[in-house]
Amino acid sequence: MITSVSHIIEKINQQLAKHTFGKQPGELYEPIDYILSLGGKRLRPLLTILAYQLYRDEDKMSEILNPALAVEVFHNFTLMHDDIMDEAPLRRGKPTVHHKWNANIAILSGDVMLVRAYDLLLDVPPRQLPAIIRAFNKCAAEVCEGQQWDMNYESHEQVSEQEYLEMIRLKTAVLLGFSLELGGMLAGATEKDCQRLYEFGVNIGISFQLKDDLLDVYADQEKFGKQVGGDIIANKKTFLLIKALEKANSQQKTELEEWLTRVTFEKEEKVEAVKKIYDALDIPALTRQKMNDYFQTGMQYLQQINVDESRKEVLHDFAEWLMAREK
């Protein structure tokens, strides 16, 4: 990873370690420390700081660490609640909060994380606070909308490509867009540049999620860190499955639908059978093309941002790294 990016992530983790969310009752606050200790890419606060540094020098970074942390705390709040809804036993290879404690504790701890995210946002200049809170609230509501659509689609027999792309835009991409927009707002960027940063983030975010869909099926198990083929096993209506059902001939469609309706099966057998259909239909190439379309659109927005090209290099290179990752 880019050296300066690693340095920023180190600063983010140091600031997070210093922050106290509360002490008593322990059952309320220990789960917050726990989920934040599980790690992750720290992608969202990193993007806030990288956007800020388009306009401000690195030595000013400490001034915006708390607002940048707000998006990370909010993101982990959504993960804590999503895990309850998905009945997920693991998060980053460790027991989820509702499994380690219980669902009621996970709900309350998540609620406190949302409150603390607002606390962290209060460290912005007073004149910028109303606009930043409005943008954050819009984003937060859209993330919830995306999660609801995702849950709705679990029971839908058919989900269109457009419906799926809109769902991942809301559930995943708008928070990346807001993270970048926040950095621009804190740096005093123009309204146009803040909008360009937002659109850059949203398009990169959709590409990022499509890459996750692809990795879930085709990643190297040793590098991936979780079970490859999990989406296939769970019948998740990802871009890959949607396109396969759309392009399949009658025999392939029958086979796919048989696997989707089977209650008992060998996991590895199902993954291999569905992958074979994906390969025959050239689904990986279609997914990469869609990823690239969104990625290039995002890069066009980055290009339009009104700062010296040399200042965009780290953000540009980091976006490239995100798309080339193998886990």
pLDDT digits (tens, 9 = 90+) for 145-170: 999 999 999 889 899 999 999 999 99
Q: What are the φ/ψ torsions at residue 94 (nearest 5 degrees)?
A: -120, 160
Q: Residue 124 class from Cβ within 10 Å (0-12 exposed, 13-18 middle, 19+ buried)?
A: buried
Q: Residue 295 class from Cβ within 10 Å (0-12 exposed, 13-18 middle, 19+ buried)?
A: buried
Query: Distance between CA atoms of 9 and 280, rounded to whole angstroms?
Result: 41
| Same topology between domain 1-123 and domain 153-305 | yes
**What is the per-residue pLDDT for 44?**
97
What is the helix (H) or strand (E) element at residue 153, kind and residue range? Answer: helix 129-154
**What is the per-residue pLDDT for 1?**
46
**What is the per-residue pLDDT for 2?**
54
The ranges assigned to domains in the chain are 1-123, 153-305
What is the helix (H) or strand (E) element at residue 290, kind and residue range? Answer: helix 283-304
Kindly list the distances between the CA atom of residue 186 and the CA atoms of 50, 66, 71, in Å, as whole numbers in the listed order.
12, 12, 14
CATH architecture for residues 1-123 = Orthogonal Bundle (1.10)
Q: What are the φ/ψ torsions at residue 95 (nearest 5 degrees)?
A: -60, 140
Query: Distance between CA atoms of 236 and 316, rounded to whole angstroms?
Result: 31
Query: Distance between CA atoms of 121 and 132, rounded to whole angstroms?
Result: 8
Superfamily of domain 153-305 in CATH is Farnesyl Diphosphate Synthase (1.10.600.10)
**What is the per-residue pLDDT for 154?**
86
| 220-247 burial: b if 16+ Cβ within 10 Å, else e | eeeeeeeebbebbbeeebbbbbbbbbeb
**What is the per-residue pLDDT for 222?**
63
Token pair 């909308």 in the structure block, residue: 145
CA 136 to the chain's CA centroid: 16
Instruction: Name the stretches of the chain with pLDDT < 70.
Output: 1-3, 221-227
Query: Distance between CA atoms of 245 and 135, rounded to whole angstroms?
Result: 37
Helix, strand, or coil (residue 321): helix
One-character DSSP codes across 92-145: TTEE-HHHHS-HHHHHHHHHHHHHHHHHHHTTS-GGGHHHHHHHHHHHHHHHHH
Query: Distance between CA atoms of 187 and 132, rounded to whole angstroms?
Result: 12
One-character DSSP codes across 181-238: HHHHHHTT--HHHHHHHHHHHHHHHHHHHHHHHHHHHHS-HHHH-S-TTHHHHTT---
**What is the per-residue pLDDT for 40?**
85
pLDDT digits (tens, 9 = 90+) for 34-79: 999 998 889 999 999 999 999 998 777 888 999 999 999 999 999 9
Cis? peptide before 130, omega within 30° of 0: no
Query: Distance between CA atoms of 62 and 262, rounded to whole angstroms?
Result: 54
Query: Distance between CA atoms of 63 and 77, rounded to whole angstroms?
Result: 24
